[in-house]
Amino acid sequence: MQKETMTRIHKWASVTTILLLAVFAIHESSVTVRADAPAGFTSLFNGTDLTGLKGLVGNPKSRAAMSADELVAAQQEADETMRAHWRVVDGVLEFDGKGKSLCTAKDYGDFELYVDWKILEGGDSGIYLRGSPQVQIWDTEFENYFRHGAENGSGALWNNRNNPRFPLEKADKPVGQWNTFFIRMVGERVTIKLNGQLVADNVVMENVWERNLPIYHRGQIELQNHGNTLYFREIHIREIPSHEANQLLAAQEHADQFESIFNGDDFAGWSGALENYQVVDSAIVCKAGKGGTIFTEKEYSDFVARLEFKLPAGGNNGLAIRYPGEGAPHLDGLELQVLDSEDPKYTKLDPRQYHGSVYGLVAAHRGYLRPTGEWNFQQVTMRGSKVKVELNGFTILDADLSEVKESKDGAVPPGAARKSGHFGFAGHNDPVAFRNISIRELPGDPAEPPSRETAVSPTDGPIKLFNGRNLKGFYTWIRDSQYSDPQKVFTVHDGMIHISGDGYGGLITNREYRDYHLILEFKWGEKTWGNRVDRARDSGLLLHCWGPDGCYSNTWMASIEAQIIEGGVGDILVLTGSDPGTGQVLPTSLTAEITKDRDGEKVWKQGGERVTISSGRINWFGRDVDWADSTGFRGKDDVESTFGKWTRMEVIADGGHLLYKVNGVVVNEAFEAKPDFGKLLLQTEQAEMFVRRFELWPIGKAPTDKLKQ
């Protein structure tokens, strides 16, 4: 692989020299010596003129709808506009803030890109990938942009809704200084480094132009106009060949948990019409003019399969899924089409017959196959009645077969309801080849949390998670809108985080933390919502969060909760999650000393019976046995402040030891917490709440200041 850290030489001269006949100054902005393109890369900008660049015409969808003549005319007009507002000054591309975006004349598929950029105060721009918005660029200190999340830094995949949106780190240099993006795009996934720091890690980029489709497989690179003066230089690109893209796709996400099911030498472990297939160059190839189904001797229920396949012109085969060992795969099991869909002889097929489709039942998106003769990479996930197909890194099918009511031929065949069966290939007389075939059975063993050594711990002073100005360092995940917050559930006003409560989800730290003394000051607001409009005001602080967002109840993360609810502030809840895609368990547990109340509920009692739990609740020691889930409830021994006043919650997390305090009173305790580090999450659970203080102190060094109302 090409190293991502390249020597990038930018030389500036700033010289004041007194000569006999003249006095002159050479300033930083006036001279730029261009760097050579990194090895394997091609420069998109030559540093002299606009060769290889063009003006913007519409968007990928609108351009595709134009006739050839319309597109030529529109491009001529766009190029004239481009030349009026983009210019080259001392080796730097400058944009005057008017006109439209600047685009590459060439389209790109999978690639790596370096680009240097600079903005001025209030600047806002971005890099469009394959003609689609966008890798965000902006002035991260400009307060008018805080409502959009600018404080989190450049590098956001700004138009994402269902996949991570904001960068992992803020890595911007101050306004007016040069920044460098490294961007890798393989299929629909994007990895971004800003100034050498990872800000997006293999994140799916969504198609804003056609939300029902994956991102386009090819398209132009665009430097976005957003009405600001902009500067770009040193733009270098390397196209990733298909064999390298396949290696990158095979290496992602749990690669070590896949088991090869074909040894590359013979058909050991396989059955069926083996006489009609052969092993050629470590690949299974159907013999020309032959067919039939071959399949693994082992049966599989839920799994993820990965493989490469190569189609000849017009080639036709299929993946046999949950096949019973006899009969037709598309009737007695499931068949996923493997087909040269763009061959002219297939123009009149039912949409449910093209490549990647569940034959006759569900149509896959087209246009993501590589040219015939090249190896394609495909991943198939089967879990219960759900099937997902990813081709060359693009999700071309994601369906629930239980919702399918008819096939192309009438009734849904019985094989669609099978829960398990063999995996194999359904040949149709063409020499289609398959190699690197592996399967990961689901759900598999429980997941292991990552190393706690990557987590941050306060040392010399506090880590102020909330800075009083904006939501820097946080992102949101809400059940109904995932990575977007259209209802503005989490905002900042008057130095406070305002949680409207309108929905279920959380405000989550980008980083993981360990070994700290946490201080959180909160108070309730008036508003309650939805199914909790007349219930006790409810929220919470989740500790040691890990796993995918939404992996607990499709809403939160696997974690240990410090409960915030009227009458129950300081309860412990243990939330063991499961991966929403694979079902893999994300275990969480702790040990506590307890007694039981009148109703048999567990209550913390120092020195009591020691129990270990992986789910459920440990009530704080004074929780009212007659607690009722009603708005405004207050127990006779509650130590939280009365409604409308500030309450201080503290959590001392020392390795696996957790100690909860409410308004200075120790209310709960646990030991052997697993995991003992993770992200922190402030919940929204249909109740309005305000937070003014949210910080982590070194253990033993937290202040003992009096709570102020």
Tally the C-alpha atoms within 13 A of residue 167's C-alpha that lie toward its C-beta: 27
**pLDDT at 29 exceeding the cut of 90:** no
Calpha distance 661→668 (Å, rounded): 7
pTM of the model: 0.92
Check if the beta carbon of residue 398 is closer than 8 Å to that of residue 274: no
Number of structural domains found in the chain: 3
Q: Which residue has the tokens 């305090």?
A: 661
> What pLDDT was estimated at residue 253?
83
Three-state SS for 645? coil
Least confident of 29-43, 118-132, 581-595: 29-43
Task: Identify the H or E element spanning 414.
Answer: none
Given a contact cutoff of 8 angstroms between Cβ atoms, the answer to whether 26 and 33 are in contact is: no
CATH number at residue 480: 2.60.120.560
DSSP per position, 435-464: EEEEEEESS-SPP-PPPGGGSB---SS-EE
Same domain, 405 and 483: no
Mean pLDDT, to the nearest integer, of 400-412?
97
Pair 549, 632 in one domain: yes
Termini Cα distance of the chain: 58
Q: Residue 509: pLDDT above 80? A: yes
Confidence at 547, pLDDT banded by 50, 70, 90: very high
State the Cα–Cα distance between residues 285 and 304, nearest whole angstrom.
22
- Residue 20: pLDDT band with limits 50, 70, 90: very low
Number of C-beta neighbours around residue 632 at 10 A: 12
- Is residue 329 within 8 Å of residue 310, measured between CB atoms? no
Q: Which residues of 2-31 are buried (b: 16+ CB within 10 A; e: fewer)?
A: eeeebeeeeeeeeeeeeeeeeeeeeeeeee
Instruction: Check pLDDT > 70 for residue 631.
Output: yes
343 with 436, same domain: the answer is yes
Could you report the per-residue pLDDT of 231-251, keeping only the tens digit for each?
Answer: 999 999 999 999 999 999 999
Are residues 469 and 140 in contact, defined by beta-carbon separation less than 8 angstroms?
A: no
Give the Cα separation of 260 and 435 in Å (integer). Answer: 10
Q: Residue 342: phi, psi to the nearest 5? A: -90, 0
The rounded mean pLDDT for the chain is 94
Whether residue 276 has pLDDT greater than 70: yes
Is 9 among the domain residues?
no
Contact by Cβ (8 Å): 500, 476 = no
Q: Is the pLDDT of residue 306 over 70?
A: yes
Whether 225 and 177 share a structural domain = yes
Q: Are residues 269 and 397 in the same domain?
A: yes
pLDDT 10s digits, 462-486: 999 999 999 999 999 999 999 999 9
Report the distance separating Cα 264 and Cα 249, nearest Å: 20
Residues 159 and 261 occupy one common structural domain: no
Domain final position from 209, 225, 240: 240
Task: Assign 16 a pLDDT band (cuts: 50, 70, 90).
Answer: very low
* Segments forming the whole domain that contains residue 48: 15-240
290 and 208 co-located in one domain? no
Tokens of residue 131, six digits:
């003609």
Q: What is the mean pLDDT of residues 340-359?
A: 97
Query: pLDDT tens digit string along 80-121?
Result: 999 999 999 999 999 999 999 999 999 999 999 999 999 999
Indicate whether 570 belongs to any domain.
Answer: yes
Question: Above pLDDT 90, what percent of the chain?
Answer: 94
Strands (E), 567-702: 572-575, 577-578, 585-586, 589-596, 602-604, 609-613, 616-618, 647-654, 657-662, 665-674, 679-685, 687-697
CA 544 to chain centre: 20
Out of 240, 257, 282, a domain closes at: 240
pLDDT at 12: 27
pLDDT beyond 70 at 517? yes
C-alpha 456/C-alpha 165 separation (Å) is 22
Do both 300 and 219 map to the same domain?
Answer: no
Per-residue pLDDT band for 37 (boundaries 50, 70, 90) equals confident
Q: Are residues 182 and 54 in the same domain?
A: yes
Q: The tokens of 699 are what? A: 């253990």
Place of tokens 């685009």: 103
Whether residue 513 lies inside any domain: the answer is: yes
Q: Is the pLDDT of residue 48 over 60?
A: yes
Of the candidates 564, 499, 493, the residue with the CA atom closest to the CA atom of residue 529: 499
Please tell me the distance from the alpha carbon of residue 539 to that of residue 562, in angstroms, as a whole number: 9
Query: Do residue 492 and residue 543 come from a single domain?
Result: yes
What value does the CA radius of gyration of the chain take, rounded to a whole number of Å?
A: 29
Kindly indicate the confidence band of residue 34, based on its pLDDT and cuts at 50, 70 and 90. low
DSSP E strand boundaries for 501-555: 504-509, 516-528, 538-546
Nearest to 506 by CA among 522, 482, 532: 482
| Boundary residue ending a domain (240, 255, 283) | 240
